[in-house]
Amino acid sequence: MRLGILTSGGDCPGLNAVIRGFCKYAFNNIDGVEIYGIEEGYLGLIEKRYRQIFPADVENILDLGGTILGSTRTPYKMMTLSENGERTWLQSMVENYKKLKLDGLIALGGAGTHKTASLLSVEGCNVIGLPKTIDNDIYGTDVTFGFNTAVQTAADAIKRIRTTADSHSRVFFVEVMGNKVGWLTLYAGIASGADGIFIPEISYDEARLADYLKKRKQSGCRSTIIAVAEGAISTREAAMGKKERKDYLASMGNASAAQRCATVAEYNTGIPCHATVLGHVQRGGEPCAYDKVLCTKIGAYGAQLAQSGKYGVTVAVRGLKLSYNSLTEIAGKTKYIPADSQIVSLAKSMGIFFGD
């Protein structure tokens, strides 16, 4: 059996742990298996860049951040575009899949990766997706690998901001990644004891924010920390049309979500407000113990699916068990924080401010 494996899209802690889990299961349980690491994500499949992976290659990579295979973003919308009648990326990938005589391809990636995996699957390639992303936005799985490590990293950073904010009686808006969903901000905010949490799923009201900050100051709170998702927007911004919003953002110097919060809140209250953007620190480094276990399980389970010829699926976590969903069913869908989220309502009932 010849299996290809690739890591695609933005990286996260735990990719190497999954590669290791996958390879170790395959080498130990599939007679004569050959594993080929496709380099730089789908780009490697487009350009036929790969190398064989041997057992020694996956020794001692459980703790290693990043990905030994490299990763790139190859946008889904580019997959079927053709200039001057040239082969599309999709056609090149299918062709190279066949040239490499692969029996299966394992794609570790997020939402975009899964869309392309679904496309490849429809084109007749045997594909299995493994749900990676710090954003935790892949539809149909309780959790994605890399998420819990990023929660820990972001929460640690927010806690550090709390001590300096307290020393100087400051207000901080701390921006957390997460693309268009608020999972990472919600969990990191709760885990760090943030006073407020702004997520894309709940627009914040600028006037309420101003009141909230003034009241906290009046009641003697030394610091206020609001965890802001990079995709968070105010109700005012949400009400704008596309062009109006573009112009507004340009007038704000295309400031990030937390920077816009700080600017508007300072203007409305006269209280000095600071913004800190955590950025890619959230994607780097060693996975936490939870992710090391999850990644090992997901990798080994992915190999088990390949061994049994179960393709066209992506691995999903359901409670404590691993299962799978059909790629075509989940591709293009996003797992948002639901409107009736229990964790949000509990957080609100404790007084955490969501800006609504």
Among the listed ranges 24-32, 61-69, 132-140, 345-353, the one in contact with ligand F6P (CB under 6 A) is 132-140
- The residue among 73 and 333 lying less far from ligand F6P, judged by its C-beta, is 73
Selection from 223, 250, 251, 264 nearest residue 355 by Cα: 264
Residue list 277-296, contact with ligand F6P (CB under 6 A): 283
The CA distances from residue 345 to 287, 307, 340, 341, 353, in Å, are: 29, 43, 8, 6, 11
Q: Measured from the CB atom, is 131 or 312 closer to ligand F6P?
A: 131
Nearest-approach distance from CB 294 to ligand F6P, in angstroms: 17
Q: Is 330:114 a contact under the CB 8 Å cutoff? A: yes
How distant, in Å, are the alpha carbons of 16, 36, 64, 100, 108 from that of 57? 11, 12, 13, 20, 18
The one catalytic residue among 11, 103, 135, 156: 135
Please, are residues 25 and 59 in contact by the beta-carbon 8 Å criterion?
A: no
Among 134, 258, 277, 347, binds ligand F6P (CB under 6 A): 134
166 carries an active-site annotation: no
Question: At closest approach, how far in Å is the CB of 145 from ligand F6P?
Answer: 13
Nearer to ligand F6P, 73 or 217 (CB): 73
Least distance CB 231 / ligand F6P (angstroms): 8
**Range in contact with ligand F6P (rule: CB under 6 A) among 61-69, 129-137, 161-169, 269-277:** 129-137
Quick check: helix, strand or coil at residue 48? coil
> Cβ 131 to ligand F6P, closest distance in Å?
12
Which residues in 212-251 contact ligand F6P (CB under 6 A)? 230
Helix or strand (DSSP H, E) at 2: strand 2-7
In the complex with ligand F6P, which residue's Cβ is closer, 112 or 196?
A: 112
User: What character string, x for contact with ligand F6P (CB under 6 A) and - otherwise, covers 47-86?
Assistant: --------------------------x-------------
- Smallest gap, in angstroms, from Cβ of residue 135 to ligand F6P? 5
Nearest in space to 18 (alpha carbons), one of 68, 54, 52, 56: 68
| Minimum CB distance to ligand F6P, residue 71 (Å) | 10
Q: Show the binding pattern over residues 158-197: x = contacts ligand F6P (CB under 6 A), - = does not.
A: -------------------xxx------------------
> How many Cβ atoms sit within 10 Å of the Cβ of residue 56?
7
Task: Work out how close the CB of 78 gets to ligand F6P at its nearest, in angstroms, rounded to a whole number.
Answer: 15
Rounded to whole angstroms, the Cα distance separating 6 from 107 reads 5
Q: Is 10 in the site for ligand F6P (CB under 6 A)?
A: yes
Q: Quick one: 137 or 206, whose CB is closer to ligand F6P? A: 137
Of 325, 286, 24, 282, whose CA–CA distance to 133 is shortest?
282
Nearest to 44 by CA among 12, 20, 18, 8: 8
Contacts with ligand F6P by CB under 6 A: the residue count is: 11
Residue 210 DSSP SS3 = helix
Among 133, 148, 203, 234, interactor with ligand F6P by CB under 6 A: 133
Q: How far is CA 45 from CA 62, 123, 206, 261, in A?
A: 25, 14, 47, 42
**CA 229 – CA 197 distance, rounded (Å):** 8
Can you read off the two tokens belonging to residue 255?
């400031």
Among 41, 44, 110, 287, binds ligand F6P (CB under 6 A): 110
Token pair for residue 148? 């819990």
For 323, the enclosing helix (H) or strand (E) is strand 321-326
User: Which residues does the annotation mark as catalytic?
Assistant: 135
Query: Residues interacting with ligand F6P, by CB under 6 A?
Result: 10, 73, 110, 133-135, 177-179, 230, 283
